[in-house]
């Protein structure tokens, strides 16, 4: 398995390849035991949400991580999909849900991670 930092960087690139918007990576390892990273991204429509969910799972499996749990699915028109890969938790939102839940604010104690695409 790759180093977690490498996986997060590659995941950001994978999401960017599908035109995800406002991709944020937050390191929460210092403030929580649930994971090391949150990766948060926004989809513009249900088709893009499905593409983001698919590319995330494909990339993570190739990186040696399988989902422990997935809540929501683009086929069901979910506006928030949570994909738990253990040390990395991915949150895919539509724009309205992202603004409403504002995870960046809720987890403001975490450190924003600059990951260049």
Q: What is the pLDDT of residues 56-67, one digit of tens each?
A: 999 999 999 999
- Which CATH topology does 4-112 take? Beta Polymerase; domain 2 (3.30.460)
What's the CA gap between 1 and 86, in Å, rounded? 13
What are the domain boundaries of the chain?
Answer: 4-112
What's the CA gap between 74 and 25, in Å, rounded? 22
Q: What is the pLDDT of residues 75-111, one digit of tens each?
A: 788 899 999 999 999 999 999 999 998 887 767 666 5
Query: By the 8 A CB rule, do 74 and 20 touch?
Result: no
Q: What is the mean pLDDT of the segment spanning 1-14?
A: 88
Query: For the whole model, what pTM was predicted?
Result: 0.89
Per-residue pLDDT, 74: 75
Q: What is the pLDDT of residues 93-102, one digit of tens each?
A: 999 999 998 8
How far out from the chain centre does Cα 4 lie? 13
What's the CA gap between 97 and 92, in Å, rounded? 9
Query: By the 8 A CB rule, do 110 and 28 touch?
Result: yes
């Amino acid at each position: 398995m790759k180093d977690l930092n490498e996986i997060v960087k590659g995941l950001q690139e994978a999401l960017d390849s599908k035109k995800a918007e406002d991709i944020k990576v937050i390191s929460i390892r210092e403030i929580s035991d649930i994971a090391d990273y949150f990766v948060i991204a926004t989809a513009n429509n249900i088709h893009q949400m499905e593409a983001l969910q698919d590319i995330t799972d494909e990339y993570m499996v190739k990186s040696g991580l399988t989902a422990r749990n997935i809540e929501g699915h683009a086929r069901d028109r979910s506006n928030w999909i949570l994909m738990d890969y253990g040390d990395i938790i991915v949150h895919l939102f539509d724009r309205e849900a992202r603004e409403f839940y504002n995870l960046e604010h809720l987890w403001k104690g975490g450190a924003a991670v600059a990951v260049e695409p």
